[in-house]
């Protein structure tokens, strides 16, 4: 009975609020060996609060500046947009720019997954409301982007992870109920085909939580713990042992949970040469929480109807 009452109270009076935390690691980070230790012991700086959700940070260091690409969400329009927060090396915030080239999609956007190939910067944002996986290219860093290819169509998947193994490219995606979907191609701009390898997994939490990293000839990727009761509860670091048309095999290396900063959740983690970024969740009390949630559901339903008509 108490658990039921608590769920009702949470539904009526609490909503999630996400923020982005940055750690300057001073060159001591050795992923994944001491990642959890650094997260637990280091003081993280929170980006200035401008939106209800500031989440999904992806990092680029360039010209003595740190560029944090992220999702910005406000209940005022109930739609995520993509932005870039610019900081200097001392983590003083310089600017916050909206990314251009995405407005005509007319959908919720998040998880701005970045890919650097031959000094060309690409992005695969989360655009599941359009039932498409889209590839964008940077044309004027960091703000201006252009759509160059529809990688997957008529496919509602979220938080796509791109990686390359043995001269084959892969997209690891998840359906809205957290089932893994895998596609392969000869190169990023190639023809993507779904594959169905036999899965040998450490757990059934497959939704992407950051960039994969190749360290000492081992490929690591991150997934987020999502359950029907809790979204974005923790992050898993996994080693990808085998990935081909026949087998998908991974091992669990580490779990990063919200105890790193005594919050209510964490679901994206990325790092660069000198910085680590993660997002963090607080369940925030508000007398208007239920109205905000209902407004969000209405806006999502409206966008889905609009996008469905556009495709038909």
pLDDT one-digit tens code per residue, 122-158: 999 999 999 999 999 999 999 999 999 999 999 999 9
Smallest CA-to-CA distance from 231 within 209, 199, 250 is with 209
- High-pLDDT (> 70) share of the chain, %: 99
Mean pLDDT for the chain?
93
86 has a pLDDT exceeding 70: yes
47-51, 74-78, 236-240: which has the minimum mean pLDDT?
A: 74-78
308 has a pLDDT exceeding 90: no
Q: What is d(CA 66, CA 81) in angstroms, rounded to the nearest whole number?
A: 20
Q: What are the DSSP E strand ranges found in 74-203? A: 81-88, 93-98, 110-117, 120-126, 132-140, 144-153, 158-165, 168-174, 180-185, 193-195, 198-200
List the Cα angle 145/168/223 in 5-degree steps: 70
129 within 8 A of 109, measured Cβ to Cβ: no
| pLDDT reported for residue 9 | 81
Tell me the mean pLDDT in the region 65-88.
94
Smallest CA-to-CA distance from 310 within 182, 132, 147, 190 is with 132
231 has a pLDDT exceeding 90: no
pLDDT tens digits along 23-60: 998 889 999 999 999 999 999 999 999 999 999 999 99
Smallest CA-to-CA distance from 218 within 187, 253, 185 is with 253
pLDDT tens digits along 182-212: 999 999 999 999 999 999 999 999 999 999 9
2 has a pLDDT exceeding 80: no
91-95, 151-155, 191-195, 226-230: which has the minimum mean pLDDT?
A: 226-230
| pLDDT reported for residue 311 | 62
Smallest CA-to-CA distance from 57 within 22, 103, 15 is with 22
| pLDDT reported for residue 229 | 75
Tell me the mean pLDDT in the region 273-292.
92
Q: What is d(CA 233, CA 205) in angstroms, rounded to the nearest whole number?
A: 11
């Amino acid at each position: 009975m108490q658990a039921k009452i608590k769920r009702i109270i949470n539904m009526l009076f609490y909503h999630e609020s996400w923020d982005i935390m940055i750690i300057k690691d001073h060159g001591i980070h050795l992923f994944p060996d001491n990642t959890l230790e650094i997260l637990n012991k280091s003081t993280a700086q929170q980006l200035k609060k401008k939106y209800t959700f500031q989440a999904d940070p992806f990092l680029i260091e360039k010209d003595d500046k740190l560029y944090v690409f992220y999702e910005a969400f406000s209940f005022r329009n109930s739609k995520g947009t993509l932005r870039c927060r610019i900081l200097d090396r001392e983590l003083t915030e310089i600017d916050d720019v909206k990314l251009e080239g995405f407005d005509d999609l007319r959908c919720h956007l998040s998880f701005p997954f970045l890919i650097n190939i031959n000094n060309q910067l690409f992005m695969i944002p989360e655009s599941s409301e359009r039932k498409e996986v889209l590839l964008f290219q940077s044309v004027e860093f960091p703000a201006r982007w252009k759509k160059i290819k529809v990688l997957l169509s008529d496919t509602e998947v979220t938080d796509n992870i791109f990686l390359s193994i043995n001269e084959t490219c892969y997209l690891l995606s998840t359906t809205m109920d957290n089932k893994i979907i895998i596609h392969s191609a000869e190169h990023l701009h190639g023809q993507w085909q779904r594959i169905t390898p036999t899965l040998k997994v450490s757990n059934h939490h497959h939704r992407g939580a950051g960039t994969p990293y190749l360290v000492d000839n081992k490929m690591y990727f991150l997934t987020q713990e999502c359950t029907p009761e809790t979204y974005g509860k923790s992050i898993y670091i996994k080693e990808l042992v085998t990935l081909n048309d026949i087998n998908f095999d991974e091992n669990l290396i580490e779990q990063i949970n919200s105890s790193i900063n005594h919050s209510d959740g964490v679901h994206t983690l990325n790092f660069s040469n000198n910085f680590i970024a993660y997002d963090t969740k607080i369940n925030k009390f508000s007398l208007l929480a239920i109205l905000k949630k209902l407004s969000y559901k209405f806006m999502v339903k409206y966008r889905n109807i609009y996008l469905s008509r556009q495709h038909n």
